[in-house]
Amino acid sequence: MQIILTVRNKQSNNMRFTTSYIILITSFALMAYGYWGAFTTPGNKVYDEMDAFYPFFMLIGGVVLLIIFLILLIIMRRKAKK
């Protein structure tokens, strides 16, 4: 019984590890797109006036996902120390 619980625990840790890095990659993609759309000349030509809110909010969403990634990383490291 102990072996089964150990295997499940390792799978759970691997799942959290994979999920956190998917969140990291997604946050970088959103931040890059948001920066391009809101703060570069070609992005401003594509997204002018009110349309510029889309990339700006994607930039904010990328930052939020980055914060979630950092929180998950801290939680995983604390659990690994135990």
Rounded to two decimals, what is the model's pTM?
A: 0.74
* Per-residue pLDDT at 1 exceeds 70: no
Q: Are 59 and 43 in contact (CB under 8 A)?
A: no
State residue 51's pLDDT score. 82
pLDDT band at 6 (very low <50, low <70, confident <90, very high): very low
Cβ atoms within 10 Å of 33's Cβ, excluding its own:
17
